[in-house]
Amino acid sequence: MAKSAVRTYLLSPKTDWLTVGGLSVILLPLFLFFIPNDANSSTQVGWFLYGIAFVVNYPHFTVSYQLLYGDYRKRILKDYRFFWAAIVVPILLLAYMIWAHFQQTQESLAYFVEFMFVIVGWHYVKQSYGAVMVTSSLNKYQFSALERNLMKVNLYALWITSFLSFNIGEMPPQDYWGIPYYSLNFPIEAIYTAYVITALTLLIFGVLMLLKVKKSGTWPPLNSILSFVSIYAWFLPVLYDPVFFLAIPFFHSIQYFTFVIALKKREGDAVDKKNKSGLKLAMTYLIVAIISGALFFELIPRILDVTVPYNHDLFGEGLFLFLFSVCINIHHYFIDNVIWRRDNEEVSKYLFH
């Protein structure tokens, strides 16, 4: 009996390289050299990506809720990590919102935004690292413990560099759904230090990998390389190109959905591949995510903003849009932190093998 072919890809050997990071690497030069960095371009790009958000960005958040409260609901009361993500974190977020309401200040919500940006950056680098690990495992390529740890340190340093770039010294206030937030006023030496650590760890990691290639004659898989390089494409341009910054959530969401669809498709195929159960299951999750994304990021908060009384002079016209967006962004990280782990049996079975 012939052995089944070993699968070395997530969705398709022809498209994986694009969705795990290649698309952002290709489009980066177009943003840098052909799209002007001005208010008009930012507005046009922003409106285009706002439309894209309904079918990519918003659903990538809400599909994580399907996984946690649907697929893994039985673990919530049995595993402390799932209990933390599913029960404790939402309670803490609600408690903070209640506290902020009684404070009746914009500053209390501004801290919420800053915390979201810290969490989101951390989430981005962890997803990229996970993408490197999964794509390398599928191709039977192994990174040593030293190589993995250096990669992590480098990615964390890059994340800190990106975060500091918006919080050095006194900068003009930024706006998030009508709530102004301000620079945390770190000294300039902080970002210089972050730059040095990022560059140094990248250099050491690069030298180690080149020595490994020279010794073994084997390069890491292309998809793994692109998964790693993509985070540099996402983070570094934000230091000088706000237009490209608007597109980063789109690239992140495309990468995320590559793994979600691969997971659900393989789960379904394991039950009944002949009737394309895997594709049907993945599409069902995607459709539910699109609908729920539009509901929780747009329709429900907009209805609440016009029906629930609050201090519009202080909080503007989009307080619930702000709260839903920030809370889902933060909660999404904690959900993913328990689901997308190698010690999760389903994830390990269907993605790493």
Instruction: Give the pLDDT confidence of 111-137 residue by residue, as tens digits.
Output: 899 999 999 999 999 999 999 999 999
Q: Specify the pLDDT at position 133.
A: 94
Q: Specify the pLDDT at position 271.
A: 83
Displacement of CA 212 from its chain's centroid (Å): 30
Q: Specify the pLDDT at position 101.
A: 83
Q: Does residue 4 carry a pLDDT above 50?
A: no
Better-scored residue on pLDDT, 170 or 54: 54
Question: Can you tell me the distance from the alpha carbon of 76 to that of 331, in angstroms, rounded to the nearest whole number?
Answer: 15
Q: Does residue 252 carry a pLDDT above 90?
A: yes
Q: Specify the pLDDT at position 341.
A: 87
Three-class SS of residue 28?
A: helix
What's the pLDDT tens digit per position in 258-293? 999 999 998 888 888 877 888 899 999 999 999 999
What's the pLDDT tens digit per position in 12-31? 999 999 999 999 999 888 88
Q: DSSP H helical segments within 273-318, as ranges?
A: 277-294, 300-307, 312-315
**Whether pTM exceeds 0.85:** yes
What's the pLDDT tens digit per position in 145-171? 999 999 999 999 999 998 998 888 888
Q: Specify the pLDDT at position 279.
A: 87
Q: Specify the pLDDT at position 150.
A: 96
What's the pLDDT tens digit per position in 234-248? 888 766 677 788 889
Question: Can you tell me the distance from the alpha carbon of 48 to that of 100, in angstroms, rounded to the nearest whole number?
Answer: 33
Mean of the per-residue pLDDT values of the chain: 90
Q: Does residue 203 carry a pLDDT above 50?
A: yes
- 255 token code pair: 């990468």
Q: Specify the pLDDT at position 238.
A: 65
What's the pLDDT tens digit per position in 296-335? 999 999 999 999 999 988 898 999 999 999 999 999 999 9
What's the pLDDT tens digit per position in 176-191? 888 999 888 999 999 9
Better-scored residue on pLDDT, 73 or 31: 73
Question: Can you tell me the distance from the alpha carbon of 177 to that of 18, in angstroms, rounded to the nearest whole number?
Answer: 32
By CB neighbour count within 10 A (0-12 exposed, 13-18 middle, 19+ buried), where does 227 fall? buried
Read off the pLDDT band of 3 (50, 70, 90): very low
